[in-house]
Amino acid sequence: MFGWRKLIEGLAPRPHRSAAPRPRRHNPDAVVDCGAYFAGARRGGLQHYTEAARQARRHRDGFVWLGLHEPDLATMRSIAEVFDLHELLVEQSVEGGHRPALETIGEVTRLVFRTARYVEHEELTATSEVVDTGDVTVLVGPWFVITVRHGAAGALWHVRQDLEKRPTVLGLGPWSVVYAIGSRMVDEYLAVAAAVERDLERLEEETFATERTPGISHCYQLKREMVEFKRAVLPLQEPLADLLDVAGAPPGLRPYFVDVQGRLARAVDRVAGFDDLLNSILQARLAQVSMDQNNDMRMIAAWAAIAAVPTVIAGIYGMNFAHIPGLNSPYGFPAVILVILVVVGGVYWRLKKAGWL
């Protein structure tokens, strides 16, 4: 009986299966947050980007904010199909380490921010990490904004929370997210600059203190960290200036972008000042090292001159000559020792007075 049942089941037609797998209805691991916004307010909680995109397309005043953290290529291609992204934008978003830039491909504008975070440390050493950097790529379309973050620095959850508390600004559309992210990045630059300033003050105190640090490797380490920080701050000036002329940006956001640009100028001035101060400290420390080496060489030369006195006298009396003054005298040896002590004492006193010892 059991065999006939298996035979009948095998002959029965099987249900049709689609060749393409059904789309996953949960967020991929790279999705940090996704929400649909209408008239300056968020509708619902965490949504799948497909559903959020469908809702935003139905309303003229709606847009989607999709936040990603280090997505892989497969995830970005799936997102590109929903939001109609160019393949170049997909490839650029997957990779990190980009410089600040602004470009437009079709109806999508790509803006890159460099993130910065101060790393707390008890003291500055030759291997201390002072500034941790990353990048955030912002893709702005007519009805969506996609943020792709690389690195540990620059988390955007607090940016989303703060912006959701400002419905007037949020109601201006996707470009309000660009303003909020840019404002947060510049605030982080100023916070990092304030923390680095304290490190420079401590380094300056150590450089000109009575008891100096043994080396200058920590100075070079801080200089390397400052170079990385400058790469995050200084190149952002041009993209922010060009951002004021982007056609898709609402005129109501122009004063906000001007404010961000002004604060960025202050951050640039502080970073440039730090670089000059660090160069001055480094030059002073190198001068101190050179002076210490000169003092050591003078001391070595002084002791060499003192040691040369008994060496010369002993060398003369060590020659195999029959007639040398005092050689056969019972007072010859004490007299030679006395002469050595007197001459050595005189040379020591003269070098000590000159500051060589």
Q: What is the CATH number of the domain that holds 350?
A: 1.20.58
Confidence of residue 289 (pLDDT cuts 50, 70, 90): confident
Burial of 235 (0-12, 13-18, 19+ CB in 10 A): middle
Least confident of 9-13, 90-94, 186-190, 287-291: 9-13
- Tell whether 261 and 317 lie within a shared domain: no
- Tell whether 65 and 198 lie within a shared domain: yes
- Tell whether 265 and 315 lie within a shared domain: no
End residue of a domain, out of 289, 321, 345: 289
- Tell whether 120 and 255 lie within a shared domain: yes
Q: Tell me which residue range forms the domain holding 341.
A: 294-354
Q: In this structure, are strands 31-38 and 62-69 parallel, antiparallel, or unpaired?
A: antiparallel
What is the average pLDDT across 326-353?
A: 80
pLDDT of residue 66: 93
Least confident of 42-56, 207-221, 271-285, 289-303: 207-221
End residue of a domain, out of 246, 267, 289: 289
- Tell whether 64 and 42 lie within a shared domain: yes
Is 258 strand, coil or helix? helix
Judge whether 3 lies within some domain.
no
* CA dist., res. 1 & res. 273, Å (int): 91
Q: Which residues contact 49 (CB under 8 A, 6 or more apart)?
A: 27, 31, 34, 64, 66, 79, 82, 83
pLDDT at 39 over 60: yes
- Tell whether 314 and 232 lie within a shared domain: no
Confidence of residue 140 (pLDDT cuts 50, 70, 90): very high
- Tell whether 216 and 331 lie within a shared domain: no
Q: How many domains does the chain have?
A: 2
**CATH number of the domain enclosing 147:** 3.30.460.20
- Tell whether 255 and 317 lie within a shared domain: no
- Tell whether 255 and 333 lie within a shared domain: no
Judge whether 8 lies within some domain.
no
Judge whether 133 lies within some domain.
yes
pLDDT per position as a tens digit, 214-235: 567 777 788 888 888 888 899 9
- Tell whether 314 and 204 lie within a shared domain: no
What is the average pLDDT across 155-161?
A: 91
Residue 354 token pair: 């000159």
End residue of a domain, out of 289, 315, 330: 289
Q: Which residues contact 151 (CB under 8 A, 6 or more apart)?
A: 96, 115, 132, 133, 134, 135
pLDDT per position as a tens digit, 165-192: 999 999 999 999 999 999 999 999 999 9
Q: Which amino acid is at 285?
A: R
What is the average pLDDT across 260-273?
A: 91
- Tell whether 329 and 216 lie within a shared domain: no
What's the chain's average pLDDT? 82
Q: Which amino acid is at 234?
A: L
pLDDT at 287 over 60: yes
Judge whether 172 lies within some domain.
yes
- Tell whether 110 and 152 lie within a shared domain: yes
Least confident of 67-81, 159-173, 201-215: 201-215
Total number of residues shown for the chain: 357
Give alpha helix (H) positions in the chain.
2-11, 49-58, 73-83, 87-94, 157-164, 167-170, 175-207, 217-233, 237-243, 254-317, 332-354
Is 129 strand, coil or helix? coil
* CA dist., res. 78 & res. 327, Å (int): 104
Judge whether 5 lies within some domain.
no
CA angle at 16 for the pair 15 and 18, rounded to the nearest 5°:
140
Judge whether 86 lies within some domain.
yes
pLDDT of residue 215: 61
What is the average pLDDT across 111-136?
A: 86
Judge whether 131 lies within some domain.
yes
Q: Which residues contact 325 (CB under 8 A, 6 or more apart)?
A: 332
Judge whether 231 lies within some domain.
yes
